[in-house]
Structure 1
Amino acid sequence: MKKSLPFLLLLLCTAAFAQNSVEKTNISKDAFAHTYSIVARDANTGEMAVGVQSHWFSVGSIVSWGKSGVGVVATQSFVNPAYGPNGLKLMEQGKSPSEALAQLLSQDEGKAYRQVAFLNAEGETAAHTGDRCVEAAAHLTGQNFSVQANMMLKNTVVPAMAKAFQENAELPLAERVLMAMKAAEAEGGDIRGKQSAALIVVGAEKVENPWEEKKIDLRVDDHAEPLVELERLLKVARAYEYMNRGDLAMEEENVEKALEEYGNAMKLFPENLEMKYWTAVALANSGRMEEAKPLFKAIFKQDENWKEMTKRLPASGLLKISEEELESLTK
């Protein structure tokens, strides 16, 4: 695949600018993810998050790191991914963000090119912006947050992110982080434009299983409007949180609670057939067939596969209606 001329020129200029250091640090081999990001903690819930956006493919795959009950890390500019797992390990061992970051920087010959931010479960933060990071480059740290950016169009990006995070304290953490990123974009964001974004949220307490680590894990790897798409995905994720709570209520045979949760999901994502479907199932299982029938019929009209699905549910115990009712529903 051919690389674009501007991209090649940028790499050549970067190599010429850092010729002596390249030989010592192998910086030219590192991932190239100039970006803006935020690491943050919710003082009420203890949840921690990383939000990031860049004009680079799949920025979330290398920049954002987190571990429940421990902390979060954003590592960017010329990325050294080791800052993520190693920083989390040091904080888990009891080092403060400042101590952990200082230790890793002392071992990194390419620190002049790095931009890194650490945040721990107590809301303590530390950040580093190397003097070889491309302007506009800066960071701003405070209790429970750090915002950082490099290769920005304007030097107002970082303070705008901090202001937005502090002014939206009433929002859940994920939405609050998203507001900070939208503020960065409103100030011009990445000088090259936009391509990918990511958002992770981890919990306040340590977890036993690795699949429980992330409460939210969203990535937009390549999109014309990555923050718009990230916001849409977050809304869908919130809808499915309601669906999951509804499913748990169904398992506990608490139909009214399930209907409440499914209803909340449908309000957020009304065009989703699955959310309508399980609401209809919950209604049917509670003996409210006359309310369930119109929902089933509307779903079957859009996609007849759901009708076949309905015929299969009684055998699994998920749909508890009589054979006559099932026949009436699916004829």
Structure 2
Amino acid sequence: MKNYLLISFVLFFSQVNAQFFRKDNGLAHTFSIVARDEKTGEIAVGVQSHWFSVGTSVSWAEAGVGAVATQSFTNKSFGIRGLALLKEGKTAQQALDILLSDDPGKEVRQVGIVDAKGNVANFTGKNCVDFAGDLKGKNYAVQSNMMLTNEVPVAMAKSFEANTRLPLAERVLEALKAAQKVGGDIRGKQSAAILVVKGEATGKPWDENHLVDLRVDDHADPLVEMERLLKTHRAYEHMNNGDLAIENNNMTLAMQEYGAAMKMFPKNLEMQYWTAITLANGGNVQKASVMLQAIYAKEPNWRKMTKRLPKAGLLTVKEKELNLLLKK
């Protein structure tokens, strides 16, 4: 009898796999959130799972269109097809209904969708592994399956609603952390992803996708690593803003932006270096030299870099001043 039951289970699971699991799809038992920032219009999707590189299959978003999270027995086509339906003018619910209408495996699917207007929809198939559930709120939808407890959707929703002061990426991260705090995936944790795009398309996808695009593919504590990466991302946003200010000949703003970046990561030599070069170009060669000597002491190759900058037009000082910057 035991052997008969075992054989029956194996045959059943093989049939399930044949029908619902393909190499181009995959398994992603997980928790996720799709959301829109009412103030900025930005759109996001965030996810964590005990599955390698979850961001390659669950999270999909396009500027001015929306975001999709497709999980459980993942149907990756829901990501691209869902965004295409939204782009045609379908609401989140209409897109979801169409995606599920011809899917023989819908009872093992879990999907969340938000459109550019903040409409949301989600679905949890009746055969998703417990604990499985979802919730919808204003501008967001959360969904989870194979959770240790049944508290995950509520915890995520409460967190998202409570953190309106935060930028959208940080708000999504806090929702993911809230899910983990009440148990998260019953198997543990391995990977995470956060994707944020603009609320309106501008015809310049290189500027729209992606405002934030971070993935932790394999880590003992992916949300801790995600938090570190997000902080690093914000610091380099300040660096990029500083570079732009220099292009616009606004040295005061450039120094403010570089200073903000260094404050976040005071030990980052790259940030220190370009701040020093900006000081030199702005006429404060003595202070720049002091900073550069400290940088060279930690990594001599930066001195070689300084020698190359005048040719590229990135260091515009006289020869005497250059020698001061290069002195040993």
TM-score normalised over the length of structure 1: 0.93
Kindly report which structure 2 residues correspond to 1:219-298, keeping only aligned pairs within 5 A, or say none.
Answer: 219-298=215-294
SS of equivalent to 1:328: helix
Query: Could you tell me how far apart the structure 1 residues matched to 2:231 and 2:295 are?
Result: 22
Task: Report what 1:5 is aligned to.
Answer: none
What do residues 45-75 of structure 1 show as CA deviations (whole Å, max 9, x unaligned)? Answer: 0001111000000000010000000100000
Query: Could you tell me how far apart the structure 1 residues matched to 2:16 and 2:72 are?
Result: 16
SS of equivalent to 1:214: coil
Give 1:43 deviation, angstroms: 0.3
Kindly report which structure 2 residues correspond to 1:175-194, keeping only aligned pairs within 5 A, or say none.
Answer: 175-194=170-189
| Aligned partner letter, 2:311 | A
What do residues 279-331 of structure 1 show as CA deviations (whole Å, max 9, x unaligned)? Answer: 10111111111221221111111011100100111111111111011112213
Distance 1:166 1:15, change over 3 A: farther
Determine if contact 2:288/2:325 at 8 Å carries over to the other structure. Answer: no
Q: Which runs of 5+ in 2 are unaligned?
A: 1-6
Which of 310, 313, 323 is the aligned partner of 2:309?
313
Task: Report what 1:61 is aligned to.
Answer: 56
1:84 aligns with 2:79: yes
Determine if contact 1:62/1:79 at 8 Å carries over to the other structure. Answer: yes
Distance 1:209 1:91, change over 3 A: same
| Aligned partner letter, 1:34 | H
1:165 aligns with 2:160: yes
Query: Could you tell me how far apart the structure 2 residues matched to 1:37 and 1:76 are?
Result: 9
1:45 aligns with 2:53: no
Deviates more, 1:152-161 or 1:321-330: 321-330
Which of 169, 193, 196 is the aligned partner of 1:174?
169
| Aligned partner letter, 1:156 | E
| Aligned partner letter, 2:86 | M
| Aligned partner letter, 1:142 | G
Give 1:211 deviation, angstroms: 3.0
Task: Report what 2:211 is aligned to.
Answer: 215
Give 1:20 deviation, angstroms: 5.5
Query: Could you tell me how far apart the structure 1 residues matched to 2:46 and 2:293 are?
Result: 41
Query: Could you tell me how far apart the structure 1 residues matched to 2:52 and 2:83 are?
Result: 24
Query: Could you tell me how far apart the structure 2 residues matched to 1:15 and 1:312 are?
Result: 65
Query: Could you tell me how far apart the structure 2 residues matched to 1:105 and 1:127 are?
Result: 11
Query: Could you tell me how far apart the structure 1 residues matched to 2:42 and 2:10 are?
Result: 40
Query: Could you tell me how far apart the structure 2 residues matched to 1:297 and 1:13 are?
Result: 72
Query: Could you tell me how far apart the structure 2 residues matched to 1:168 and 1:231 are?
Result: 16
- Across the two proteins, how many residue pairs are aligned to each other? 319
Which of 139, 143, 152 is the aligned partner of 1:148?
143
Give 1:13 deviation, angstroms: 9.6
| Aligned partner letter, 1:194 | K
Query: Could you tell me how far apart the structure 1 residues matched to 2:35 and 2:9 are?
Result: 31
1:138 aligns with 2:118: no
SS of equivalent to 1:326: helix
SS of equivalent to 1:86: helix
Task: Report what 1:9 is aligned to.
Answer: none
Determine if contact 2:21/2:27 at 8 Å carries over to the other structure. Answer: no
Determine if contact 1:27/1:110 at 8 Å carries over to the other structure. Answer: no
Give 1:210 deviation, angstroms: 3.6
Q: Which runs of 5+ in 1 are unaligned?
A: 1-11
Distance 1:94 1:323, change over 3 A: same
Identical pairs, percent: 56
| Aligned partner letter, 2:264 | L
1:127 aligns with 2:122: yes
Distance 1:13 1:299, change over 3 A: farther
TM-score normalised over the length of structure 2: 0.94
1:36 aligns with 2:38: no
Task: Report what 2:191 is aligned to.
Answer: 196
Query: Could you tell me how far apart the structure 2 residues matched to 1:140 and 1:130 are?
Result: 14
Task: Report what 1:7 is aligned to.
Answer: none
Distance 1:204 1:36, change over 3 A: same
Distance 1:129 1:322, change over 3 A: same
Determine if contact 1:293/1:329 at 8 Å carries over to the other structure. Answer: yes
Query: Could you tell me how far apart the structure 1 residues matched to 2:247 and 2:300 are?
Result: 26
Task: Report what 2:97 is aligned to.
Answer: 102
Task: Report what 1:8 is aligned to.
Answer: none
